Amino acid sequence: MDYQLTELQQEIRDIARRIAEEKIKPVRAQYDEDGAFPWDIVKVCADADLFAVFLPEKYGGLDGGIMELVVATEELSRACGGIALCLAASALGTIPIVLFGTDEQKEKYLPDLAAGKTVAAFALTEPAAGSDASAIQTTAVKDGDYYVINGLKQWITNGGEAGTYVVVTMTDRSKGARGASTFVLEKGMEGFDFGKKEDKMGIRGSTTRELIFRDCRVHKSHLLGREGMGFMVAMKTFDMSRPGVAAQALGIAQGALDEAITYARQREQFGHPIISFQGMQFKIAEMAMRVEAARALIYAVARSIDAGDTRCAKESAMTKAFASDVAMYVTTEAVQVLGGYGYMKEYPVEKMMRDAKITQIYEGTNEIQRSVIATNLIKEYASKK
Catalytic positions, please?
363
CB 182 within 8 A of CB 158: no
Q: What are phi and psi of 280, to 5 degrees?
A: -70, -40
Distances (CA, A) of 248 to 159, 167, 197, 290: 19, 23, 22, 15
Distance CA 25, CA 291 (A): 21
CB 149 within 8 A of CB 167: yes
Work out whether strand 180-186 and strand 164-170 pair parallel, antiparallel, or are unpaired.
Answer: antiparallel
**Element of type H or E holding 98:** helix 85-100
Distance CA 35, CA 38 (A): 9
Q: Which 8-state DSSP code applies to residue 117?
A: S
* Nearest one of 54, 120, 53, 51 to 89, comparing CA atoms: 120
